Structure 1
Amino acid sequence: MRRRLLTSTLVVAVIAVLLLGVPLGVVVSRLIVDEAAQELGAEAKRLVGEVEYARVQETPLDPQQLEQKYPGRYIQIWERGTPLRVTVVGTAPASGHLMTEDAQTNTGVYVRISRDRDQVERDVRARLLLIVALAVAALAVAVSLAVVQSRRLTLPLRDLAKIAERLGSGDARPSRHRYGIPELDRVAQVLDRSAARISDLLTREREFATDASHQLRTPLTGLTMRLEEIVAAADEPEVVREEGEAAIVQAERLTAVIDELLAAARRQRHAQAEPVAIDEVLIQQVREWEPVFKDAHRELRLEGTRGLKALATTGGFGQVVASLLENSLRHGGGRVTVTSTSGDNYVVVEVADEGPGIADEIAPKIFERNVSGGGGTGLGLTLARALAAADGGRLELVRRRPATFAVFLRPAEDDGRGNRVVSGPA
C-alpha cells in the first residue's frame, strides 16, 4: 500500500509539473525574446533621432561616444548625401547570429542596430533551467509529502492489524490508540468496543466456571456424606436402603444444579420462575444438612409459618438456602434457625445462628465477589444473591450480630397463608 501511495503521488506530481512547467517555459522564452526585440527597436528609434538631431546641428557623429552609450551593439548608420556617409559603431559578433532592428527618417537617415542572438538564447536557457529546478524541487516536496502521508496511513493500519490479531489470540485489552484520522479512529473505536465485549464474555465464562465449581461442591459434599453412611451401615439393610435413596436424591439435586447453571448462563432463569412450595425446599435442605451439624455438635431448627408458596425455581432457591446453611456452619456458631414468614409483599426465609457475627469492616461488602471474613472462597454469598435476584427476589443481611440473612421472594398468587406452628426440632 505504501508503494502504491508513493507511485500514485509521484505520477500525479509529474503530470501537474508537465502541465504547468511546459507552457510556462514556452511563455517565458517567448517573453524574453520579445522583450529583447522591443528593447532593440526602442534603441534604434532613439538612435535615429540622435543622428537626425546631429545632422540638423551639423555636428559630426562620434563613434566612440555611441559605442559607450550602446555597449554590446553593432550599429550601422547611413546618411543620404553626396557622397553617401556610412558610420559603423562596434564590431559584429563573431558567430554571425544576430538580432537586428531598423529605423529611418524621411530626410534619408537609416539606422540598423544589432546584438548577439546567442546572448538572448543564453538568457532563455537560464530561465528555463530555473523552471526545471523549481519543477524538480516541487517533485521532491511531493515525494516527501507522499512519504509522510503514507507513513501516517500505513503505520496506523499496521497497528490496527496487530490489535485485531491480539483480539483473535484472546488478549481483549482495549488499545485506546487514536491516530488523528477520523476513519481510522472510528475503526479503532469499533475494535475497542469489540475488545470490551470480548473481555466481558471471557469474564462471564470464567465466572461461570468458578460459580459452577462452587455450586457443585455442596451437592457433591452431600452425596459423599450419604455414600459414607452407606459404607458405614453395610450390615444394616434398612439403613443402607435409606441412605441409598438419599444418595439418589443428592444425585438428582446435582443434576438440577447443573441445569440451573446452564439456564443461568443462557440468562433464562428469570423466565422459569414459578410457584414453589417453600416447605418442601426447606425440609429437604434441613434433612441434608442435619447430619453435618450433628457431627459439629450443633443444632439445626426449622421454624415459622408452614404452607407458604413463592415465585422461584426449586434448584435456585435450594442453592440459596444451602449456601446460607454452609456459611453458618463454617463461619457461625451455636444453633442455626431457619424461619419462614410472609408479609404483604414478600415471603421471607431467614437463616440465623448464634455465632460472633460479621465484622463491621466486612459487612458493607459481604456480598461482593472474593470477600470473605473466614478464609473462604468469597463466592458463596455472591452466587446466592445472584440466584435470588434471578428468581425475582433478593438476599439481604438483616442483622450483623449474630449474623442473620433473609431471602425475600415474591409471593405466589395462590399462596394461601398457612397457620403459625410451634417451633421445634427439624
Structure 2
Amino acid sequence: MRRRVLLLVGATTSLVLIAFLVPLALLLRTVAADRAVQNATVEAQALSSLVATTDRAALALSVAQVDATSPYHLTLFLADGTRLGAPAERSPLVELGARGTSASTETASGREIVFAVRDPSGGGGVLRAFVPAAELTGGVTRAWLLLAALGIGLLLVSLAVADRMARSLVRSTIDLAAVSHRLGRGELEARADPTAPDELGVVAGALNGLATRITELLREERENVADLAHRVRTPLTALRLEAESLADPRDAARIGAGVDGVQRAVTTAIEQARRRGVEPGTARDGSDAAAVVGERVAFWSVLAEDTEREATVDIAAGPLPVAPARADLEACIDALLGNVFAHTPDGTPFSVRLTPRVGGGATLTVADAGPGLPAGSAALRRGVSGAGSTGLGLDIARRSAEQAGGELRLGPSERGGLCVVVELGPPGAQPRPGSAP
C-alpha cells in the first residue's frame, strides 16, 4: 500500500511538473533569443545614426570599435562597395537591404539582421548585424538546469510528504490486521485504535464492536452451560442413587459408570466453554491413547455382549501419547462406538484398532459390518444425519482429530460397512488450519 501511494503521488507530480516546466523551458529559450536580437538591433541602430553624419575615416573607426566590443558581428556595406567592420559576404539579405529594405532571417549558425542606411554622399548602404547561435541561447542551459533542479526538488518533497502519509495509513492498517489476528487467536481483550485515519477508523470501530459482541456471546454461552450443568446434576444424582440400589452389583457398576461418563461429559463441556477464546492448543495436556481406548472399549464391551455383537480389539502396547486431552479423546471414542451401536442392527460385529504413527501419535480405526453410509452422504457436516440422530457424533470425532493435528477419514470397511480412521497427532501438535476450537 505504501509503495502504491508513492507511485501514484510520484506519477501525478511528474505529470504536473512536465506540464509546467516544459513550456516554461521553451519560453526561456524564446526570451533569450529575443533578448539577443533586441540587443543587436539597438547596437546597429546606434551606428546607423553615424553613417549619414560622419566622414568615412571616423565612421570606419566607430564601426571597428563597436564590433570589437560587441558579442555580435557588425558590418557596414557602403554604396561604393566598401566594407567596414567585421568581415562578411554580401548575402541575399544584404542585397535586399541595398534596395532599401530592412529584414532579418535565421541561418544555420545564427540570425542575420540588415538595416538600409544612407551614407554622407546620399548613396545607399547596408548595416548588417549577425547574432551567433551561442548568443541566441546564452543562459538557457543554466536556466534549464535550475528548472530541472527545481522539478526534482519538488518531486522529492512531494514523495517525502506522501511517504509520511503512507506510513500513517500503513501503520494503521498493520495495527488493524494485528488486532484482527489477536482476536482470531482468542485474545478477546484486543482492541483497535478508532482514531485511525478516515475509513480505517470506521473499520477499527466496527472491529471493536464485533469483539465486544463476541465477548458478550461467550459470556452468555458460559452462563447457559453452567445452568445446564446445574440442571443435569440433580437427575444424575438421583440416577446414581437408583443405580446403587440395584441388587446386581454388575448392573449397579455399569450404570454407575454410565452416570460417571455423563458427569464427565458435562464437566468437559463446562471446561471447554471456560477455555473458549484461548488460543487452540495452549490448554491441552495430552493423554495416553492406549489407556483411554482400552478403558472405553471395555466399557462398551458390556453393551456389545448384551446386543450379541462380536468385538475385535487390537490395541498396541502403550503408552501412546497423543495431543488430545483425556476428556476429548474419550468423547471421540464414545462418539464413534456410539454410532456403531446406534446405526447398525444388533448382532453386527465391529472392530477397534489402535496403532502408533510414524513420527508420533496414533491411528484409531473403528470398522463395522453394518449398512455403511448411503451414497452422497454428508455425515461429516455438523448437525447432518441420515439416520434421525443429532448428527454430532462424527463431527465431534473430526474436531478432536483436527485439534490434535490429525484428520478423520471415512470409507468402506472390509466387511462392507463403515470404516472410520482417526489420525491423532503427538503431544504439542498444532491444530490443522481451519479447525474449530
Bigger RCO of structures 1 and 2 (CA < 8 A, at least 6 apart)? 1
Q: TM-score range by the shorter chain?
A: 0.3 to 0.5
Structure 2-normalised TM-score?
0.43
Which has the greater radius of gyration? 1
